[in-house]
A and B are shown apart, each in its own frame.
Chain A
Amino acid sequence: MAGNPVKRNLSYEFLKGLWDESPIFRQLLGMCPTLAVTTTAINALSMGLATSFVLVCSATIVSFIRKLIPNQVRIASYIVVIATFVTIADLFLKGNFPDISKALGPFVPLIVVNCLILGRAEVFASRHDPFPAFVDALGMGFGFSIALTVLGTVREILGSGTIFGFLNFEPWVIMILPGGAFITLGLLIGLMNMIKERTK
């Protein structure tokens, strides 16, 4: 950790993904799956878990091989590592949870180009030891899954009115349409900014 200017403890590396550097609400990374698959809470959670799996595995591997990769081809090497894990995750989902795999559609393979994963590999894993990289990826994956699930829950409650049996109102169809995704996320980020402003 000699080259690391600010030495932080592991619990910070884990927790920063949840609020301070929340990938979705703060850094706006990995937007495509965020908007596309959050029509229901369960889809959102599955997507979050699949992405976290790829994120954690690839960050750990990248950290292990970081000294072997020449600097010029590092991005390409990271992408190959990521694509390999995405293939594993995709085959696992297809084999064990065909319904979820069908609902997520092309967004499982698109985890390859999720900028969150490449971003963590480039910014963190390639400069730290495997264990901190693992913890950082775990925190980021956790934050990503939570943010996705929150978005999915809001959209499911308002858009289909199905999450609790006793909800009884006319669902707003717009919330499960593409427009609703953008608007919900915009309002949630605005809300987070407002909370941050108040607690400062």
Chain B
Amino acid sequence: MDLLIIFISAAVVNNFVLIYFLGICPFLGVSNKTEKAFSMGLATTFVMVLAALVTWLINNLILIPFNLPFLQYVSFIIVIASLVQFVEMFIRKTSSTLYRALGIFLPLITTNCAILGLALLAALREYNFIQSVVFGFAAGVGFTLALLIMAGIREELEMAPIPEPFKGAPITLIIAGLLALAFMGFAGLIAG
């Protein structure tokens, strides 16, 4: 029950992109085609689950026992960067289909603030191991969901008569604002 609440909260109610503003760069950058958006969402979810898992271990087995919380940012970001590198090498060796689908998006994930934000939030809320992994998965699902909705709208928008100065980034941001308003509707779904 507890896990279900964490899942729904991170995926929908407190959507990482639309409510917490994490991962806005890929959200604006790769949300112009649904296929691309889906691959990006998949790759990010994958890294998010791994990052939640590994940063939990580092935080609770190394940083806290040795009283080094000030090294949190440096160690988390190194872990995430090397994790992304490792995942890229692993996928390239094992599955060339998956590598072709995700390939170019993988390096971009290092600077996706949603990953570091996820690690920091999980540490801040003192989730246990299982909760952290569920939280990571839910955040990935929420990210993919937001990206897919946005990509769907933007594909429709290509034909729309938009005033010249508002083409591109401005109209995307305004739509994101309306989407964020729509997601606010989930706010009463669960307490906390």
Q: Which residues of A contact B (CB under 8 A)?
A: 28-29, 31-33, 35-36, 75-76, 79-80, 83-84, 86-87, 90-91, 106, 109-110, 112-115, 118, 174, 177-183, 185-187, 189-191, 193-194, 197
Q: List 12 A-B contacts (CB under 8 A).
A: A75-B81, A75-B110, A79-B78, A84-B74, A109-B116, A113-B111, A179-B184, A183-B177, A183-B178, A186-B173, A186-B176, A190-B171
* Whole-angstrom CA separation of A74 from B134 in the bound complex: 33
Residues of chain A within 8 A of B165, CB atoms compared: 190-191, 193-194, 197
Closest to B15 in A: A178
Residues of chain A within 8 A of B72, CB atoms compared: 109
* Whole-angstrom CA separation of A35 from B70 in the bound complex: 26
Given the known interface contacts A35-B24, A79-B78, the answer about A182 and B177 at a Cβ–Cβ threshold of 8 Å is: yes
Interface centre among A28, A182, A186 (most CB of B within 10 A): A182
* Whole-angstrom distance between the Cβ of B12 and the nearest chain A Cβ: 14
Residues of chain A within 8 A of B3, CB atoms compared: none
Q: By the criterion CB–CB under 8 Å, are B19 and A178 in contact?
A: yes
* Whole-angstrom distance between the Cβ of B144 and the nearest chain A Cβ: 18
* Whole-angstrom distance between the Cβ of A155 and the nearest chain B Cβ: 12
Given the known interface contacts A90-B73, A115-B111, A182-B180, the answer about A187 and B170 at a Cβ–Cβ threshold of 8 Å is: yes
5 interchain residue pairs of minimum CB distance: A186-B173, A182-B177, A183-B177, A193-B165, A186-B174
Q: By the criterion CB–CB under 8 Å, are A35 and B21 in contact?
A: yes
Q: Which of B37-45, B88-96, B117-125 sits within the interface?
A: B117-125
Interface residues on B, range: 35 or more
* Whole-angstrom distance between the Cβ of A70 and the nearest chain B Cβ: 15
Q: Give 6 A-B pairs besides A31-B25, A36-B20 with Cβ atoms closer than 8 angstroms.
A: A75-B81, A79-B77, A87-B74, A110-B22, A182-B173, A193-B166
Q: Contact check: which of A76, A177, A182 meets B78 at CB < 8 Å? A: A76
Does B148 interact with chain A (Cβ within 8 Å)? no
* Whole-angstrom CA separation of A190 from B172 in the bound complex: 11
Q: Contact check: which of B25, B70, B172, B177 meets A180 at CB < 8 Å? A: B177
Q: Does more than half of chain B's interface fall in helix, strand or loop, or is it mixed? A: helix
* Whole-angstrom CA separation of A1 from B117 in the bound complex: 38
Q: By the criterion CB–CB under 8 Å, are A182 and B174 in contact?
A: yes
Q: Which residues of B contact A (CB under 8 A)?
A: 18-25, 28, 70-74, 77-78, 81-82, 110-113, 115-117, 120-121, 124, 163-166, 169-174, 176-178, 180-181, 184
Q: Contact check: which of A118, A179, A186 meets B172 at CB < 8 Å? A: A186
* Whole-angstrom CA separation of A33 from B124 in the bound complex: 18
* Whole-angstrom CA separation of A133 from B16 in the bound complex: 34
Q: By the criterion CB–CB under 8 Å, are B74 and A110 in contact?
A: no
Q: Contact check: which of B23, B77, B169 meets A28 at CB < 8 Å? A: B169
* Whole-angstrom CA separation of A109 from B81 in the bound complex: 16
Residues of chain A within 8 A of B180, CB atoms compared: 177-179, 181-182
* Whole-angstrom CA separation of A81 from B130 in the bound complex: 32
Given the known interface contacts A76-B81, A91-B70, A189-B170, the answer about A28 and B28 at a Cβ–Cβ threshold of 8 Å is: yes
Q: By the criterion CB–CB under 8 Å, are B25 and A115 in contact?
A: yes
Residues of chain A within 8 A of B25, CB atoms compared: 28-29, 31-32, 115
Q: By the criterion CB–CB under 8 Å, are B28 and A32 in contact?
A: no
Residues of chain A within 8 A of B112, CB atoms compared: 113
Q: By the criterion CB–CB under 8 Å, are B184 and A178 in contact?
A: yes
Q: By the criterion CB–CB under 8 Å, are A113 and B174 in contact?
A: no
Residues of chain B within 8 A of A177, CB atoms compared: 180-181, 184
